[in-house]
Amino acid sequence: MVSLKMEIYNYGTQDNALVIEMKRGESINLKKGSLIFIKGKHAIKPSKENSFFLLECLGHCSVGVSMGIGKKEIINVIEPLYINMNNVIGFYNAKYVKLGKKIIDYNTSMDLIYTREGNYILSYKGDKLELRIGNEKVLVDLDNLVLTNGKIKFIPHKNAVITGEEPLLAEIEGPAIIYLQTITL
Q: What is the pLDDT of residue 147?
A: 42
35 CB neighbour count, 10 Å cutoff: 18
Mean pLDDT of the chain: 44
State if pTM tops 0.75.
no
**pLDDT tens track for 151-178:** 444 444 343 333 333 444 444 444 444 4
> Alpha-carbon distance 146 to 142, whole Å?
9
Q: What is the pLDDT of residue 131?
A: 55
How many degrees, rounded to 5, is the angle at CA 91 between CA 88 and CA 93? 145
- Nearest to 118, CA basis, from 161, 57, 174: 174
Report domain extents, the chain: 3-100, 112-184
- Nearest to 73, CA basis, from 49, 39, 47, 99: 39
- In the chain, beta strands by DSSP E: 3-10, 18-23, 27-30, 34-41, 51-56, 62-66, 73-76, 81-84, 90-93, 96-97, 102-105, 110-115, 118-125, 128-133, 136-141, 145-148, 151-156, 167-173, 176-180, 183-184
| CB 155, CB 129: distance < 8 Å | no
Average pLDDT over residues 72-81: 47
Q: With bands split at pLDDT 50, 70 and 90, how would you rate the model's confidence at 67?
A: very low
> Alpha-carbon distance 51 to 103, whole Å?
12
- Nearest to 128, CA basis, from 182, 176, 86: 182
**pLDDT tens track for 81-135:** 555 544 443 333 322 223 233 333 333 333 344 444 344 444 444 445 555 544 5
